[in-house]
Structures are given as structure tokens and as C-alpha cells.
Amino acid sequence: MASQVSMGATLKCSFGAAPSSLVVLPTNKVFAEGPPAANIMDHIPLVNIMPFGTCNSPSNPTVAAATTAALGVLTPMPCVPATVSPWAPGAPTVTIGNFPALDNTSTCLCTWGGAISFVAPGTVKTMIP
């Protein structure tokens, strides 16, 4: 059974070097075990999704430029998430602010090819059917 995701959930990116935390603004006025509960629209870079240390994706223009300057040696550069689409799939039966609730099985794709997923949902008791 999936767990509700809330503020402070731990994220990982397949091309990132470090974990990150999800930031959920309290605009929907729904809380899960204390912190604000997330929905699939909480995907905005540098607002909801913070950087993952350095990026190793050769599709990232800054990584590509640094790699070219290093004569082809992959050179990681600072991560700036580029998420343009919502988390998917979200919870099919629970809505928060008229959008599906975000559960720990959802993923979000970065424009540079990374897949962002959850390490820890931020809640331990709130399950989504």
C-alpha cells in the first residue's frame, strides 16, 4: 500500500549525486501527520524540488559543455532540476486541492533524463488505498 507524501519527503534523482527534500507549500490546507500533504502538481523546480548536488546527465547542457571542455571526460555540474510535467501517476482515489494526492510510488521526470523518486515519503502512518 502506498504512503502519502508530505513536506520533507526525501527524494533521489537517477543522475543526481545527493538526495534532496520535497518542499510543499501549505496552500491546499491539507496536512498529513503534521506537515503539508503533497499533490501531483508539487513539481516546480527550486520551489518544490530542490537540487540533487551535482548532475551527471550528458543531456544537461552544462554537463555537456564541461565534458567537452575536459576533452570528453564526464564532468558533473551543479544540479538545477528541470521538471516540467507533474508527478505520475499519483493516487487515483484521493485528491488534494482538486488534483490527485502524491504517493511514494509516483515519479517525476527531469528534462535532462533523470527520474526522480522517493526514498522516504515524509509520513509513516498515512496510507492511500
Q: What is residue 126's predicted lDDT score, i.e. its pLDDT?
A: 62
- Three-state DSSP state, 87: coil
Q: How far is CA 118 from CA 18, 37, 103, in A?
A: 13, 14, 9
Q: What is the pLDDT of residues 30-55, one digit of tens each?
A: 888 889 999 999 999 999 999 999 99
Domains and CATH numbers, the chain: 1-51+80-121 (2.60.200.60)
Non-local (6+) Cβ contacts of 86 within 8 A are 40, 41, 43, 99, 108
Q: What is residue 123's predicted lDDT score, i.e. its pLDDT?
A: 83
Non-local (6+) Cβ contacts of 89 within 8 A are 100, 105, 106
Non-local (6+) Cβ contacts of 98 within 8 A are none
Q: What is residue 5's predicted lDDT score, i.e. its pLDDT?
A: 93
SS3 content of the chain, % helix, strand, coil (to 5): 10, 30, 60
Q: What is residue 128's predicted lDDT score, i.e. its pLDDT?
A: 63
Q: How many CA atoms lie within 13 A of 44 on its CB side?
A: 10
pLDDT truncated to tens, each residue of the chain (129 aa)?
Answer: 788 999 999 999 999 999 999 999 999 898 888 899 999 999 999 999 999 999 999 999 999 999 999 999 999 999 999 999 999 999 989 999 999 999 999 999 999 999 999 999 988 776 666
**Which cell numbers hold the place of 112?**
535532462
